[in-house]
Chains A and B, each alone.
Chain A
């Protein structure tokens, strides 16, 4: 399989230097083509073949994720992502503060490359959601003091843990309700479940984190995870902006749908739950 590596161009942080080193070493180790982000931005045609024919690995230095954003903007299909700042935290080692790589930076770069090479053939991030869901247009509104919580009236079902599901042709799309996204406020992390994971109804489907709380996502349905919303992984704020549309979290192939429905709430019933919860807070 052909591979290409796109790294960020971070010149003002040590993490950017590590990202560049990762790209160079990974290209050597895997025979991949390196894509220059500056040239890609200016003249995408130069890399058209690489983007079309290769499996793309994106390496970012920090959470600004410039390389990922560039790839997304150009609608490139990303197979694997690396975030150096996360890898540095996980290693427990602080990087040197200089832009020239020191022993710690070089060691981190190598460790990231080793991990990449080891997992080259692991299942890829499923970036193509299967189902074709339309954005809801009609809502119930639950009002409490100055707060308004919207609940779509058609096709959505909920569990009492403020997670919704929408089923279509054997696939369910899952997300959190408007009430929960307002309660959490600005969501800064989404820890998704693994693609291909089998999850029972009311099992764990990853978590969300904001400055206020960590929220365990409780699966409203049983199934196999088939897709994780890559837009939300990159920008968890989408969940706050559009919790029922672009802020969806996960898609699942349904395995026990008829039975699952018996324990789920329709919009009107969920609205009563929201009223009660809002009044109790």
Chain B
């Protein structure tokens, strides 16, 4: 997102936590969605900008459906989008996705392994499906 999100886009907002691999997965899953799986239908914005109270970011989450991707149960992205008055249509936690990937070694907070990319893609597919559903139901714009 430059200054304003793409018109009619679903906003995908990751937590991007820097300390754990889960944060990196949240971020890379977002880019898979916005750049490859659903370009033109989805966009992202900086979570820190939203928390700072940037008027454009706040208006964006209030006027577009949002999907948050959090690394863990602390749910920083989900909570902050909700606190800014945004509508969280779907909240995903990367830690939950690992329950379907027993034994996976996803990498570190700096770089993902092949296992990490498998989990990332799975999450991205799920987000892209939800974005498509929101578009189909015309729930994107309030």
Partner of B22, one of A63, A186, A189, A241: A186
* A211 and B73 form a contact (CB under 8 A): no
Task: Tell whether A181 is near chain B: CB-to-CB under 8 Å.
Answer: no
The winner among A63, A85, A186, A240 for most chain B CB atoms within 10 A is: A186
* B72 and A186 form a contact (CB under 8 A): yes
Task: Tell whether A277 is near chain B: CB-to-CB under 8 Å.
Answer: no
* B100 and A85 form a contact (CB under 8 A): yes
Task: Tell whether B55 is near chain A: CB-to-CB under 8 Å.
Answer: no
Chain A, interface SS category: mixed
Would you give the shortest CB distance from A234 to chain B, in whole angstroms?
A: 10
| Interfacial residues of chain A within 236-273, with CB under 8 A of chain B in the complex | 237, 240-241
Chain A residues within 8 Å of chain B by Cβ, number: 15
Closest to A185 in B: B20
CA gap between A89 and B100 in the complex, in Å: 10
CA gap between A237 and B95 in the complex, in Å: 9
Task: Tell whether A188 is near chain B: CB-to-CB under 8 Å.
Answer: yes
Chain B residues within 8 Å of chain A by Cβ, number: 16
Would you give the shortest CB distance from A191 to chain B, in whole angstroms?
A: 10
Closest to B71 in A: A186
Closest to A189 in B: B102
Task: Tell whether A95 is near chain B: CB-to-CB under 8 Å.
Answer: no
The winner among A62, A209, A211, A212 for most chain B CB atoms within 10 A is: A211
A contact residues around B96 at 8 Å (CB): 63
A contact residues around B72 at 8 Å (CB): 185-186
* B98 and A186 form a contact (CB under 8 A): yes
CA gap between A210 and B73 in the complex, in Å: 14
Partner of B73, one of A62, A85, A209, A241: A241
| Interfacial residues of chain B within 92-110, with CB under 8 A of chain A in the complex | 95-96, 98-100, 102-106
The winner among B71, B99, B104 for most chain A CB atoms within 10 A is: B99
* A186 and B102 form a contact (CB under 8 A): no
Q: A186-B73, A186-B95, A237-B73 are in contact. Are A211 and B21 (CB under 8 A)?
A: yes
B contact residues around A211 at 8 Å (CB): 20-22, 95, 98, 104-106
Q: Which residues of B contact A (CB under 8 A)?
A: 20-22, 71-73, 95-96, 98-100, 102-106
A-B contact sample (17 more), CB < 8 A, given A185-B20, A188-B95, A240-B73:
A85-B100, A186-B20, A186-B71, A186-B72, A186-B73, A186-B95, A188-B99, A189-B99, A209-B103, A210-B98, A211-B20, A211-B21, A211-B22, A211-B104, A211-B106, A212-B21, A241-B73
A-B contact pairs, 22 of them (CB 8 A): A63-B99, A185-B20, A185-B22, A185-B72, A186-B20, A186-B22, A186-B71, A186-B73, A186-B95, A188-B95, A188-B98, A188-B99, A188-B102, A189-B99, A189-B102, A209-B103, A210-B98, A211-B21, A211-B104, A237-B73, A240-B73, A241-B73
